[in-house]
A and B are shown apart, each in its own frame.
Chain A
Amino acid sequence: MRITNGMMANNVLENILRSSQVLYKTQEQMSSLKKISKPSDDPTNINRIMGFKSGINRMSQYLSNINSVKVNLDTVDGILFSLTNEINSVQTTLGRYTNSALSGDYATILASDVDNIFDSIMKLANSKLNGKYVFGGDNVSQPPFEIVGDKVKYNGTDDQKIITVGENETLEASITGIELFSVHRMEGVKYSNSPDQALYAAPTSDTISITVGGNTTDITIGYDSTKGMTLQNVVDSINQSGAEVNARVEQTADGYRLKMVSQYLGSDGEITLEDKMPGGVFEKFGLLNSGGDFVGIQNVPKGGVLSTILSIKNKIQSGNEDIAQEIEDLAIGRDNVIKAHALVGIYTKRMEERESFLIDQQIQQKTLTSSIEDVDLAELMMEYNQQMIAYQSALNVGAKIMGRTLLDYL
């Protein structure tokens, strides 16, 4: 084989170039501390890295979601603590009222006592946080509890605030007036695919009546056999009728259903439904059966603390001593508040568990990302040294070989 000087020179040059390319790559990795800085560095792992990074980023968002509501829950915890204290003091005061025959003067003092406590309970119930009412559900701009005559009206909704803590995973993060002060709520158990899906089987009668705390409202839906009747029709008709309930279409995993929330607390807001004929609208939506009995989902509106204390206050002021029922209701109501309080504890606990889970996951994913993406500096240093030796020997050999020809010896 003939070896020419050009071949030698090219060969040496190629080796030097190759070694310096490898060195350059290693230097790049050492200075950026990243093994993978562009997709072509490792096309298979780039997908994983981007996936992990997006996961880590999400978890940060979930953690920040949790942090922002944990503060709220702490505040709610404090409010409920005060609320329980106030209820306790009503009970103590009432104990004195029922245990002794009270003279008129003392009754007046007691009445003002109860009055004061009621005021502070109202204030607590209408607590605000960051300028928003805490117990009104989605209605944050209007005081949720309002005294109307001798009843307490609930202006809020039954929507609990939820936060996202994972891919399609949410946690409840608030308490509404419903849980706290017992507001009657009913839901149908027949589901439709959309709020606007027409009810094809015509109801026998499109007239219904809703009674809330003794006030009955008759409502005619206006069934049109050509258009049918939709959940939204019914909801709109109920809401426009003046019946003291807030109706809405509720979206659940099974589909859409009819939901009604009373506008008044406790037994004052108890809802009774009636279809004018069997096979009517409420039956179609799964609230009543053909016998007119309730078959939907509801909570029993017992012991609304606010309404009970209001009634106690009114009775004491008017000298009515028969408050045995109220005392019983108050005990139930106190239990409701304590249950709600416990719920706050549970929510907080869940958040904390989720928080530590997310932190763990985040660390794991960061470690994994790092193991794919980051350089092992010690290993790289070793490689660098080897490459440096290769580079230097390429230079050395090149300089020696290229400098010699037969000319030197002639």
Chain B
Amino acid sequence: MSGGIEIARKALQANAYVLDTIGNNIANANTPGYSRQKVSLKPSESISIAVNNVSKPFASLGTGVSVYNVERMRNEFFDAQMRNVLGEHGSWTQQSVAYSTIESIFNEPSDFGVSAKLEAFFDSWHAVQQDPSDSGARVSVISTADQLAKSLQTTRSSLHNLQRNLNEDVPLKIKEANSLISRLSDLNTQIVKAGASGSSTSLKDERTRLTNDLVQLIDADYYEDSRGVATIAVNGVILLSESESSFLEAKMTTESGEAKYGIFLEDTLRGVDIAGGEIYGLMQARDEGIVGFIDKLNQIASVLIEKVNQIHRAGYDLQGNPGGNLFEGTSANDIKVSDFITRNGSLIAASSTISNVEGNGNNALAISQLRDQGVFDSGTTSISKFYQNLISNLGVNTLAATNYLQTNKDIISQLNNQIAEVSGVSIDEEMADMVRFQHAYQASAKYLSVIQQVLDTLINMV
């Protein structure tokens, strides 16, 4: 009879555990990174009793239910896949933002970009060619030249600022990564300690979540051993292991005259090569994307300065003096209209002859014809075509970055679904279980009261 009380106690306890777990699951239904928990029940060990059966004198008698395990429902395979995708995703997030910004810096096609200024500059020479003595036409050449120079300069300096901002973001992101590494290191220790007492499920959820945050920043390799100790390494450099953790540091390095942040192991000179994650995306946009565009702008500016000046110097101004340099500078960084010309339109060398400078506009004609001359790619590409190719290239890169980002987002959402399929909390399921275990609990309670009545009957008899 006392066995009955024990059975009832165990049943009440087991069902209460299950109900607690259901409560916990529902409570955490929307907690990020939470893995659904499931109580596994099993029958308690049965006992043998003697029975009146000659051929089989013993029978086993059940002793109720016992709790076997509280399982953390998780598929490690999906987690590993997720970590791979997150690195890519982080990289393209930064690159796609950078490219969209570059697009808005160039502001094409519009009437305010470099291409419109280029057209206006070459157009302005036509009026001078037709009437070299017209001071209005000369002033217009100076003003369009000035606008062209300024728009090249502004575009270049905006690109340069973007490059600097991207560079400044690197140490900030490294700081974020370091704080994640330090928290992961704490978790590693706690999980090992908690391993024995079995209270590590929520710690593991937290660790999965933080690891995902980390690989989104830096594409890192993750390994978990049978005791639940995690090891994290970036391209062979171990950041986190059971015994120790190492941090990263962004240090200024100078490469081909440009000071920028490189990534090193903290307090060492050991460089860390990364191949994914937001930090990689930042560095990639800084070093590959923007540099190319600045380079091309510089090429346009320097060809413009060289060719226009060359023709301009061959001509004669309104006083019959040989022309000076129309543009000063060597690149998009410092291109500007020469000071002495800015103040005096008559110094524009429109004439190709020293005499009759008021009627000869042949040098102006020569400059206006520069527009269609192949001056790039060994004489096959004109300035405006070269610029158009640059913009087209920018479009291709931006679109590619956006597409990669979208693809990664799709994969992530698919993986999230797959993870949720295993680890997510379904309210319906929990409700159904709740009803099931509520009934079981109620039945166990009823059973206990029956046992009590039975015992009462027995005791009252005595």
Contacts and interface: CB of A to CB of B under 8 A. Distances in A.
A7 B424 CA distance: 8
B359 A51 contact: no
B119 interface: yes
B287 interface: no
Interface string A35-54: 01011111110110111011
Interface in B357-406: 358-362, 365, 368-369, 371-372, 384-385, 388-389, 391-396, 398-399, 402
B30 interface: yes
Given A5-B29, A163-B130, A41 B395 contact: yes
B417 A10 contact: yes
B422 A407 contact: no
A113 interface: no
Contacts of B425: 4-6
B355 interface: yes
Chain A CB within 10 A, most for which of B356, B393, B399: B356
B184 to A, nearest CB: 25
Interface stretch (A101-109, A129-137, A385-393): A129-137
A189 B385 CA distance: 38
Given A5-B427, A10-B416, A140 B133 contact: yes
Contacts of B129: 163-164
A57 interface: yes
A132 B358 contact: yes
Contact of A46 (B29, B109, B421, B432): B109
Contacts of B399: 40, 43
Nearest to B107: A38
Contacts of A132: 131, 133, 358-359
Interface string A10-52: 1100100000000000000000000010111111101101110
Contacts of B103: 38-40
Chain A CB within 10 A, most for which of B104, B131, B395, B416: B395
A141 B395 contact: no
A410 B431 contact: yes
B205 interface: no
A2 B426 contact: yes
B413 A14 contact: yes
Interface stretch (A61-69, A212-220, A313-321, A322-330): A61-69
A194 B424 CA distance: 84
Contacts of B358: 132, 140-141
B113 to A, nearest CB: 9
Contacts of A44: 392
Contacts of A131: 133
Contacts of A140: 133, 356, 358-359
Nearest to A405: B427
Given A40-B395, A132-B133, A140-B133, A58 B119 contact: yes
Interface in A372-410: 405-407, 410
Interface stretch (A77-85, A117-125, A154-162, A200-208): A154-162
Interface string B250-284: 00000000000000000000000000000000000
A3 interface: yes
Nearest to A2: B421
A164 B392 contact: no
A406 B428 contact: yes
Nearest to B389: A47
A407 B123 CA distance: 75
A207 B122 CA distance: 46
B388 A51 contact: yes
Contacts of B395: 38-43, 46
Nearest to A39: B395
B455 interface: no
B108 interface: yes
A92 interface: no
A172 B431 CA distance: 92
A6 B424 contact: yes
A167 interface: yes
Contacts of A335: none
Interface in B108-132: 108-109, 115, 119, 123, 126-127, 129-131
A311 interface: no
Given A2-B426, A61-B126, A405-B431, A139 B365 contact: no
Chain B CB within 10 A, most for which of A10, A39, A57, A407: A39
Contacts of A69: 130
B131 A130 contact: yes
A253 interface: no
A252 interface: no
Contact of A6 (B104, B420, B422): B420
Task: Enumerate the 6 nearest inter-chain pairs by beta-carbon distance, A residue then B residue, closest first.
Answer: A39-B395, A43-B395, A4-B424, A40-B398, A140-B359, A138-B359
Interface of A: 1-7, 10-11, 14, 36, 38-44, 46-47, 49-51, 53-54, 57-58, 61, 64-65, 68-69, 130-132, 136-141, 157, 159, 161-164, 167-168, 170, 248, 405-407, 410
Interface of B: 29-30, 99-100, 103-104, 106, 108-109, 115, 119, 123, 126-127, 129-131, 133, 351, 353, 355-356, 358-362, 365, 368-369, 371-372, 384-385, 388-389, 391-396, 398-399, 402, 413, 416-417, 420-422, 424-429, 431-432, 435
